[in-house]
Structure 1
Amino acid sequence: MSDRYLCIHGHFYQPPREDPFTGETGVEIGAAPYRNWNERITAECYRPNARLRNFEQISFNVGPTLAAWLEIGDPDTYRRIIAADRWHQTVYGVGNALAQGYHHAILPLASERDRRTEVAWGIYDFTLRFGHGPHGFWLPEMAVDLPTLETLAHQGIRFTILSDEQVEGDLDRGAGPYWVRLPSGRRIAVFVRHRDLSNLISFDLGRLGTATDFARRHLPSLNGTGPRSPNRPYLVLIATDGETFGHHQMGGAGFLDWLVHREAEAAGWSVTTLARFLRDFPPDSEVTIIERTSWSCVHGLARWSTGCTCTPGDSSWKQPLRQALNRLAHALDEVYAQAMAGYGLDPWGLRNDYIRVILGRVRPHAWLQRHIPFALTRDDEDRLLTLLEAQRHRLAMFTSCAFFFEELTRVEPRYAIANAIRAIELTQEATGEDLGPAFRQDLEQSRSRRTGVTGADLFDAMVVARAANVPVNFRTAGLPRAFHPSP
């Protein structure tokens, strides 16, 4: 038995691309000759990796938004990915897929209630698709703090993945796993990725040569310094965006195929997956996390809150946008909670369970009736369901992509604002209360220095079109024509 193990983890994710007002995924010009980026990346990455059976040999997570699109947009690829986890479970006794936060929100920046919902929805989505509960959970952007780990542990998650710059302690077992002790007295296992090697594959795969070159030149240097034996082996974890393997890096799917099916073992390394390794070699030492850190911002979480130099140019628009969304979320929650209290309902438990309706497992009215011990009028039921839909859009406002890039007028911040508008519309429909003016006033403080456009301009363009019953293109509404994408 080898005392050296290699695990590749792929974080397969696409941001939500459906129009919040129509639910449709439109044409994205930059993805040509495909209709949109989901189609293009599927052709370049997901489909070839699935057909090469790479998903059977790696650890992976597939974001709920991507899984939902694949299920309809490329059902063959979707079935192959699900089947890979089932194959792994049949052969090894555990699956190799991980769950993920439902909207890819930065969990340490979320309220405790929102963290619970994001994790609960992610777990339910995973369980519905893969047919079993998850052992592991991918933290969006690897953003971590102790309250987030407490939420995972409370909901039955056994392990997550961090990067080596996010932990303190003796990493003599390489990727681990290691225990992290939590304030509640619980503990959760963490695997620690090899940052430098992961980034080399992510951003410079061409310089590495073939999988054979990589296995022979780089793996021999990763033997570690701690004591090892077949009962206490050394694990190297390479964790990166799954899109590296075919979309970001041409030829990446073939590289991964050769590495996990042939070359790693030829170089003396056993290929494994995280849940399997955790079962066979549980932690026997601890590390501590460096709180409020992530894998894609050297400033901690500033990329998604105040703005920082991780994105080029001016990012001063980020903080006022997040503040505007936070204040709107608080106002929406107050209206929602007050309405639910009038019926003696637990608003947050109800919201957590609403994922069953979103994913079409139950009919909305029948589901609501099971939660209410007395009869309601149809109008009252419609009102409560409308408020729950408002909460769905309110949670979608905080997808991490809205703050990842450098420019307010990109499609990702627009998606956040469009979801905010939809949540406002639904809340007004249900209660008569209009939260739009206060939100618009807050958005005035968020300005793009490149275009001069403010968040309020984007808000106005969408709201005016909605009021006039004109179809809204949330991707370009409010943007000066000079900045529209070229055909």
Structure 2
Amino acid sequence: MSAPPFFEKKDPMMRDPSEIKHVCIHGHFYQPPRENPWLEEIEREDSAAPHHDWNERINAECYRANAAARVVDEKNRILNLYNNYGRLNFNFGPTLLNWLENHDPWVYRTILDADRESAARFGGHGNAIAQAYNHIIMPLANRRDKLTQVLWGIRDFSRRFGRHPEGMWLPETAVDRETLAIMADAGIKFTILSPSQAARWRFIGSGSDWTDASNGKIPTGRAYRCLCGRGKHIHLFFFDAAISRGIAFEQLLGHSSSLLSRMDAAFADRDRKPGEPWLVHTATDGESYGHHFKFGDMALAAAFEKMDQDPSTRIVNYATFLASFPVTAEVEIVENTAWSCAHGVGRWERDCGCHIGGGPGWHQRWRGPLRKALDQLRDTLARHYEHQMQPLCPDPWKARDEYIDAYLDQEHLLEAFIERHMRLSSDFSSIHRFLRLLEMQRHAMFMYTSCGWFFDDISGLESLLILRHAARAIHLAEETGAASPEAAFLHTLEQAHSNLPEHGNGADIYLNTVKPGILRKDRIAANYAIQSLAGSSRRRFSFFGCDVLPQQEEDLGRSPVPCRFGHVKIKAGRTLEEEDFLYAVLHFGGLDFRCSVKRYEDDSEFKSILKALQQAVEGHHTVLMVRILDERFGADYYSLHDVSRDLRTSIALQVSRKTFASFVELQRTLYQAHQPLLTSLRQWGIRIPADLRVAVRRVLTDEVKDLIRDIIKAENDASREEYDWQATDFSFRAHVSHLQSLIQDAKSWGTALQLEAASIDLGGALVEAFEQLDRRPSSRAAGRAVRLLDVCRVLGVTPELWKLQTLYFGMVRRGLTDPDWFAELLNARKFCGGLDKRLGCRFGEFLDALPESLSRDIVPLVSTKAVSRVP
């Protein structure tokens, strides 16, 4: 059997495909949608500290790390950066990709680039596959939701990767024949399952008997055809359970050699027909590579590099293997099963015994009532959706299936979507209703995200996430005229008892934890008003889902208390609705805010309230101001407690900085006034009191911070167009000398400087310098980078080191493919050698491969060995 033309040969001899070890490692990268359903932003998650939230933390440990995984030498110096996505078969949850697109565009682009490059290498078969949209357990969904999940997953994938997906990952690999048939109808060619999900198999067309595959006995090195009804079929790959288990749970990522030896053993022990090509493949959560196992990304990169250099091994993706070799066997599945539950799909509907820990005597009986409550809510919302959509839309469920395009690109596609699906007679209020109903359905699917059942108690973060989506769906149903389904929902949730007595049951958790977080538009207006009064300047205020647009605002001064009164328009981004509100906010000092909000009626009311407040201010009557708010707005009001968590923190810090600014200035004055005495104490070896050391630390820290900003400004303002990157002028040397003096002073006073703010400033300036150098290498840009790195050395900090190493590697790799790119950089070899030392790399060795004719300042071609390490 001959290999397809897009299989690159690693040696001059044509190899028999049956003797080649085809390897495919699949990573399922996924996080639940953590966004607050009203804010459409993730609020701070304390358990993810020091990061803002778990997406941010896992991105740093895994998603970003795998985009530029480090390959190191025996001294831990970086030899190479490896984009693992270029060799992995992978899927990303669509909601996670959406987060990456908005919060780390570089990682997002790197993932897309890896798929595009792999598709070019493998004749159009890219490494990426799609995922059923928001990770619901498909066998437990109704057919309508299954169809939408598949279609949304395909449309999201096509928009991002620019091609139709060949494969699709099923959440938790949970499978039934109906889901497979829907996927096959939609043009999906294959999916990946656990071997325990195979019932029996046989070779096609040979008249062979079925072979029992129960308990994972199916040979895993081939693709299998699976008939799924109505003449349709799909192909299934059953991953090697032993290797996958070793990666996920048995420290197989401790060293690349462990992973490689296990794969070699699997290939040697293959059970196949003579001459049959064989695939050694694994599937695990992608978070294994760096998050679950620190440095797992590095072990994977080292393994890929060694496999790339082995002529007997060929790294492929599933689509390439499927397209390269005929499918010779067929299989039947065990219905309603998943890879992470030994009891079918019990983990997501009952107390089946699967858990991850918990306390003594804990149970998961809450799972059943939780699913029952959501199923009842789903069906109620579906009836409401159909009834309300009937006068607006000819085919409500088709509209839902196609809503994903408008949701992902509202700016460009929403108008066309509305024209395609709404009746011609629709007015603006009908459009708002139409969009609210679609949003209700979106949240009705998000409330089934599988993580809500996976863990051990209903009070956990993941269960709270799905209950928040249920609350948002209920809210939208009420706004579109439904009799509230909340009471019936809570009645069933009462049966979902927490293992923690303080949490009671699911209804208690909903009422005490979820419902207080509902963010209606009047509360959004209050969020705006409080931050506006606390901040130093007025600005446009925006949550991802809503914009607050000031119409008229009056600052009534700070006596007797700070007060602001205004009229704002709130525009909901998803549903295009606009509502106007009046607000009045008072600040009684500290963090004590009081904000009253009401719907805007007309300009005469605005003027009337404004006049009353002005008279109270002129009379210096605080009590009268409060009475006016009670009479004109009602007794209910908002405080800082009602502000979203991140904004609350920001406001508290703003107020604190203003309050303590005078105290900081007093510390500075005392330090300067008594510095001779402090110096004398130090000379006599007398330790200064602890409270004075605090003042010294504050003053010196501020001086270092100001000095770093001066250094950065001087580098940005440098007037000379070009100069030797090794040169330093008097100003820089003076700044560095002053910096060293301040650091020495801090040591002599026995205090440690707080360098976080200075490090952040330096990190931002360094990234900007490296990006400028990447765009156009020059001695000026090189000098700026080197001098800022030297300042870091003096301070003893390494801000943004990961990003700097990655940018530097990209520059060197670009220089290898385009030697003229380095032509404007004097003594490039020495420059890169210096960066190697400063950044802990050995990328400068790659310059040995540059042609001798480039410049007399660059070392001539000595060896091409280094080039082979560049992926």
Whether the TM-score (by the shorter chain) exceeds 0.5 is yes
The yes-or-no answer on 1:381 pairing with 2:446 is no
> Shift in Å at residue 87 of structure 1?
0.2
Which protein shows a greater Rg? 2
Residue of 295, 308, 325 corresponding to 1:251: 295
Runs of at least 5 residues in structure 2 that lack an aligned partner in the other structure = 1-14, 69-81, 202-210, 212-216, 524-637, 646-871
Moved more, 164-173 or 340-349: 164-173
Change (3 A) 1:211 1:344: closer
Q: Secondary structure at the match of 1:182?
A: strand
Tell me the alpha carbon deviations over residues 333-360 of structure 1, each in whole angstroms, 9 at most, x when there is no partner: 0000111223452111010011012102
Residue of 440, 443, 448 corresponding to 1:398: 448
Counterpart in the other structure of 2:419: 369
Listed as ranges, the matches of 1:1-16 within 5 Å are: 1=15, 2-16=19-33
Tell me the alpha carbon deviations over residues 134-156 of structure 1, each in whole angstroms, 9 at most, x when there is no partner: 00000000000101101110111
Runs of at least 5 residues in structure 1 that lack an aligned partner in the other structure = 475-487
Moved more, 160-169 or 1-10: 1-10
> Shift in Å at residue 473 of structure 1?
7.3
Q: Secondary structure at the match of 1:431?
A: coil
Tell me the alpha carbon deviations over residues 266-305 of structure 1, each in whole angstroms, 9 at most, x when there is no partner: 3833211101111101311101111111000000100001
Listed as ranges, the matches of 1:194-233 within 5 Å are: 194-205=240-251, 209-216=254-261, 218-223=263-268, 224-229=270-275, 232-233=276-277
Structure 2-normalised TM-score? 0.52
Residue of 188, 191, 195 corresponding to 2:237: 191
> Shift in Å at residue 222 of structure 1?
3.1
Tell me the alpha carbon deviations over residues 416-441 of structure 1, each in whole angstroms, 9 at most, x when there is no partner: 11111111111111124211111111
Residue-pair matches, total: 472
Tell me the alpha carbon deviations over residues 142-196 of structure 1, each in whole angstroms, 9 at most, x when there is no partner: 0001011011101110000011111122577633111001121111001110111
> Shift in Å at residue 472 of structure 1?
8.0
Counterpart in the other structure of 1:346: 395
Residue of 338, 351, 356 corresponding to 1:307: 351
Change (3 A) 1:280 1:226: same
Change (3 A) 1:265 1:221: farther
Rounded to whole Å, the distance in 1 between the matches of 2:435 and 2:381 is: 14
Residue of 81, 85, 88 corresponding to 1:58: 88
Rounded to whole Å, the distance in 2 between the matches of 1:102 and 1:160 is: 15
Higher relative contact order (CA 8 A, sep 6+): 1
Structure 1-normalised TM-score? 0.92
Q: Secondary structure at the match of 1:314?
A: coil
Change (3 A) 1:340 1:217: closer
Q: Percent identity?
A: 39
Segments of 4+ in structure 1 off by > 6 A? none
Rounded to whole Å, the distance in 2 between the matches of 1:439 and 1:156 is: 37
Counterpart in the other structure of 1:458: 509
Give the partner amino acid of 1:460.
L
Rounded to whole Å, the distance in 2 between the matches of 1:244 and 1:160 is: 20
Tell me the alpha carbon deviations over residues 407-463 of structure 1, each in whole angstroms, 9 at most, x when there is no partner: 100111111111111111111111242111111111111110223421111222233
The yes-or-no answer on 1:181 pairing with 2:227 is yes
Tell me the alpha carbon deviations over residues 369-422 of structure 1, each in whole angstroms, 9 at most, x when there is no partner: 222342211111111111111111111000001111011001111111111111
Listed as ranges, the matches of 1:64-83 within 5 Å are: 64-83=94-113
Give the partner amino acid of 1:272.
V
Moved more, 410-419 or 325-334: 410-419
Listed as ranges, the matches of 1:109-128 within 5 Å are: 109-128=140-159
Rounded to whole Å, the distance in 2 between the matches of 1:472 and 1:149 is: 45
Counterpart in the other structure of 2:133: 102
Tell me the alpha carbon deviations over residues 114-142 of structure 1, each in whole angstroms, 9 at most, x when there is no partner: 00001111111110010111000000000
Give the partner amino acid of 1:202.
A
Contact 1:5–1:236 (CA under 8 A) maintained in structure 2: yes
Tell me the alpha carbon deviations over residues 28-53 of structure 1, each in whole angstroms, 9 at most, x when there is no partner: 11211111111111111111211221
Change (3 A) 1:213 1:443: closer
The yes-or-no answer on 1:271 pairing with 2:315 is yes
Rounded to whole Å, the distance in 2 between the matches of 1:192 and 1:432 is: 46
Counterpart in the other structure of 1:47: 64
Q: Secondary structure at the match of 2:100?
A: helix
Contact 2:394–2:423 (CA under 8 A) maintained in structure 1: no
Counterpart in the other structure of 2:120: 90
Contact 2:307–2:314 (CA under 8 A) maintained in structure 1: no
Contact 1:10–1:242 (CA under 8 A) maintained in structure 2: yes
Change (3 A) 1:351 1:83: same
Give the partner amino acid of 1:424.
I
Rounded to whole Å, the distance in 2 between the matches of 1:159 and 1:114 is: 20
Q: Secondary structure at the match of 2:164?
A: coil
Contact 1:107–1:140 (CA under 8 A) maintained in structure 2: yes
Residue of 350, 355, 359 corresponding to 2:404: 355
The yes-or-no answer on 1:23 pairing with 2:40 is yes
Contact 1:4–1:270 (CA under 8 A) maintained in structure 2: yes
Contact 1:298–1:310 (CA under 8 A) maintained in structure 2: yes
Rounded to whole Å, the distance in 1 between the matches of 2:284 and 2:393 is: 46
Change (3 A) 1:267 1:37: farther
Residue of 161, 170, 181 corresponding to 1:150: 181
Rounded to whole Å, the distance in 1 between the matches of 2:254 and 2:108 is: 30
Counterpart in the other structure of 1:482: none
Contact 1:172–1:226 (CA under 8 A) maintained in structure 2: no
The yes-or-no answer on 1:38 pairing with 2:60 is no
Contact 2:29–2:285 (CA under 8 A) maintained in structure 1: yes
> Shift in Å at residue 464 of structure 1?
4.9
Contact 1:141–1:294 (CA under 8 A) maintained in structure 2: yes
Contact 2:23–2:314 (CA under 8 A) maintained in structure 1: yes
Counterpart in the other structure of 1:484: none
Q: Secondary structure at the match of 2:283?
A: strand
